[in-house]
Structure 1
Amino acid sequence: MLYQAYQLQSDLASPLRLMAQQLAASMWFQKTEKSALRSIAAASDVISRMRLTHTRPPYAIADVDELPILKLPFGTLLHFRKTGPAPETRPRVLLVAPLSGHFATLLRETARTLLQDHDVFITDWHNARDVALRHGAFSLDDYIDYMMQFIAAIGPDTHVIAVCQPCVAALAATALMAEDMHPAQPRSLTLMAGPVDCRVNPTEVNRLAISKPIEWFAQNLVSHVPLPHAGFGRRVYPGFLQLTAFMSMNPERHKASFRQMYEHLMEGRREEAKVIQDFYEEYLAVNDLPAEFYLETVEKVFQTYDLAKGELMYRGRPVRPAAIRRTALMTVEGERDDICAVGQTVAAQDLCSNVRPYLKTHHIQTGVGHYGVFSGRKWNQQIYPRVREHIHASAG
């Protein structure tokens, strides 16, 4: 009944939000002096944005065409091809986005930066509530399958960059392809702020995951998609629950942001207000997770640490990171990461024991939290140059 209750509340609030949106759009308050009318318009604009959306926002990356290379029920391999004359050959990079409550557009800035020097592809995950039941379940094994299919579709000499949650699946896919001597096994693998071994330096997120048995998560956090959505009847972990959990970690910060948005609009500082508006347009776009994938991730990654302990199985087959020999490995962590703490990602270096030392790189970025690892000034100025160097050094 959880999802049904949310849908009912959303439907009931929709007229109010629509009215606020129309009211804000009809008042040219940015061109008037401070007044009660301007205050109403600013408040209406803020209210109209305090809502969740369930559709992927546009990537809106300038000078690129978005071409679907391989479209599967739960995700599309999307190619950001630069417009105009064919560019010179550049290293091909698969950017693996998290499937954790937001859309892959969360990595828009990461992709935009990579496009400076690379041919970029991204895992564009679909909203599970829009995937019909006839397409079946989607488990952690299926996620790994998608990874291997996407890498194979791009072809040999692909460089893989996984951000946060998919680091485990990316490492597993690389290990399986290496063990099979697959011709498209990645040339390099970069793992950024990912939970490879959550036993190390546990965070509040890690403690929450082990505070309840997996049965509790299944009973209390999984719901069925209601009508009128295409995925009616599918069991999902609703994105609005994940977002609620994220926002509850820093509620005062979000309140302050909406207050700032209102004040900027009142003072006619539209550009400053737009920065906040753009952030929340992305942040409040939620993506439901297939229940099977969510529960297996919680259990195997955050509770029983299967990969770190050498116990992760893929369709009855053990995953052996030690099988990786030819793929260059880089791990990146943020000093202030309170979601995936320092030590959890670099654990991959020990698991990949047969990768030669000169093919291994680790970087800890001072002064950044989780999102600062893949977005913001320090990503662009300090982390990205090291990632680029790692990719280009292994490309030859």
Structure 2
Amino acid sequence: MVIDGKPVSIREQGVIEKPFGRLLHFEADLTGRRPPILVVAPLSGMRAEILYDMILGMLPRHDVYCLAWKDAADVSARDGPFGLEDNITYVVEMIRYLGGATHVIGLCQSALPALAAAAILAEDPVRPATLTLLGGKLDTRISPTRIDLLTRGLPLAWFKNYVIATVPASRRGHGRRVYTGSTELMMLSTYLFRHCASGGELLAKFLHDDGSDALGHPFFRLFFSIDDVPAEFFLDTVARVFHQAALAEGRLAWRGTKIAPERITKTALLTIEGGMDDISGPGQTQIAHDLCAGIPSERRGHLLCTHAGHVGLFFGCRWRKEVLPHISRFIRENGN
């Protein structure tokens, strides 16, 4: 990529390999101090490649790592189940590996495990310096979107019967139960059709790719890059996030211990929402400030991007011109 008018080589290096995920480091030939950032990719069926525009935007001023997830259909059934608590465990482990000066970013699905990990590490010497949550689903009862109402209106048994399948013998993970990529593709296609019919944000991005590297990472290909998701994780999310609002109600547990965001006192918190977000309604992320009552007011921040939709919070011109400068400033002001 070009930084300050000069070409800079970027190398995507695998740092940690685990059965269901990997920690990637985006090494850049740059001098000077750059605060470390851990981007936690959402485990939603959409591959972490959709975050490349986000990562490219941060690289000039930040040392960027990304926790990316593997296609569950390629994870051997011998590696066992992977649920929401395991998802949180991976985030905790990556923060501990990177150290206490790390700035953690969670978005969409990953906002909840990122917040949970910060709560688990609240009194640990190795805890996040800052936590930034973008378009996260922390309490889907607030400004419920179509997907919130649909998911909350269907019993868990419906999802078990109609969207969970067994990986076939042709894949390494044969025998594993998964939320299939084909189902996610159908959901994304329906979502895109609605945006096309209403003139929404996605239509604009498909007509004019506003990513910083449209040739190398075209939005169309990134948007439809999908993976299978572990069935245990998918069903845990339906039950605990959508049906029970477990985090907001104080009933979300990790290894038998209640996750208590109010214990966070030394990690600064920034929440960012899109005024036109039809995936995570406005207020669903900002509720983190009520949950994290122990954080001093001077170490908090909130940004509402009035004209941004869900994807615009991390991809395209609104990300680079509105969201990224706000995050960079918050990290600079609240770094350890």
TM-score, length of structure 1 as denominator length = 0.77
The answer as to 2:301 corresponding to 1:361 is yes
Q: In 1, are the aligned partners of 2:82 and 2:232 still within 8 Å (CA)?
A: yes
Match 1:226 to one of 128, 152, 168 = 168
CA-CA distance at 1:251 after TM superposition: 2.0
Distance (Å, rounded) in 2 between the aligned partners of 1:285 and 1:383: 24
Q: Structure 1: which 4+ aligned runs deviate by more than 4 Å?
A: 252-258, 274-277
Structure 2: stretches of 5+ with no match in the other structure: 1-6, 209-213
The answer as to 2:317 corresponding to 1:373 is no
The change in CA–CA distance for 1:385 and 1:201 in structure 2 (over 3 A counts) is: same
The change in CA–CA distance for 1:62 and 1:165 in structure 2 (over 3 A counts) is: farther
Q: In 2, are the aligned partners of 1:93 and 1:119 still within 8 Å (CA)?
A: yes
**The residue matched to 1:152 in structure 2 has which SS?**
helix
Match 1:203 to one of 109, 132, 145 = 145
Identity of matched residues, %:
37
The answer as to 2:80 corresponding to 1:136 is yes
Structure 1: stretches of 5+ with no match in the other structure: 1-60, 265-273
Query: Following superposition of structure 1 onto structure 2, how do residues 1-396 of structure 1 map, counting pairs within 5 Å?
Result: 63-83=9-29, 87-178=31-122, 181-251=123-193, 278-396=218-336
**The residue matched to 1:95 in structure 2 has which SS?**
strand
Q: In the TM superposition, what whole-angstrom CA distance separates every residue of 1:317-360 from its partner, at most 9, and x where no partner exists?
A: 10000110000000000000011011100000000000000001
Amino acid in structure 2 at the alignment position of 1:310: G
CA-CA distance at 1:276 after TM superposition: 12
CA-CA distance at 1:209 after TM superposition: 0.7
TM-score, length of structure 2 as denominator length = 0.90
Q: In 1, are the aligned partners of 2:52 and 2:217 still within 8 Å (CA)?
A: no
Distance (Å, rounded) in 1 between the aligned partners of 2:330 and 2:19: 33
Distance (Å, rounded) in 2 between the aligned partners of 1:198 and 1:218: 21
Aligned residues: 321
Distance (Å, rounded) in 2 between the aligned partners of 1:361 and 1:109: 23
Q: Which has the higher strand share?
A: 2
The change in CA–CA distance for 1:250 and 1:64 in structure 2 (over 3 A counts) is: closer
The change in CA–CA distance for 1:162 and 1:127 in structure 2 (over 3 A counts) is: same
Partner of 2:3: none
Distance (Å, rounded) in 1 between the aligned partners of 2:149 and 2:19: 33
The change in CA–CA distance for 1:291 and 1:95 in structure 2 (over 3 A counts) is: same
Q: In the TM superposition, what whole-angstrom CA distance separates every residue of 1:201-234 from its partner, at most 9, and x where no partner exists?
A: 1110100111111111111110000021000010
Q: Which has the higher helix share?
A: 1
Q: In the TM superposition, what whole-angstrom CA distance separates every residue of 1:58-115 from its partner, at most 9, and x where no partner exists?
A: xxx96211121111010001010113xx622211000111110111111000011111
Distance (Å, rounded) in 2 between the aligned partners of 1:62 and 1:208: 45
Amino acid in structure 1 at the alignment position of 2:219: F
**The residue matched to 1:166 in structure 2 has which SS?**
helix
The change in CA–CA distance for 1:329 and 1:240 in structure 2 (over 3 A counts) is: same
Cα RMSD (Å):
2.4
Q: In 2, are the aligned partners of 1:70 and 1:153 still within 8 Å (CA)?
A: no
The change in CA–CA distance for 1:277 and 1:120 in structure 2 (over 3 A counts) is: closer
The change in CA–CA distance for 1:352 and 1:126 in structure 2 (over 3 A counts) is: same
Distance (Å, rounded) in 2 between the aligned partners of 1:253 and 1:211: 23
Q: In 2, are the aligned partners of 1:247 and 1:254 still within 8 Å (CA)?
A: no
CA-CA distance at 1:253 after TM superposition: 5.5
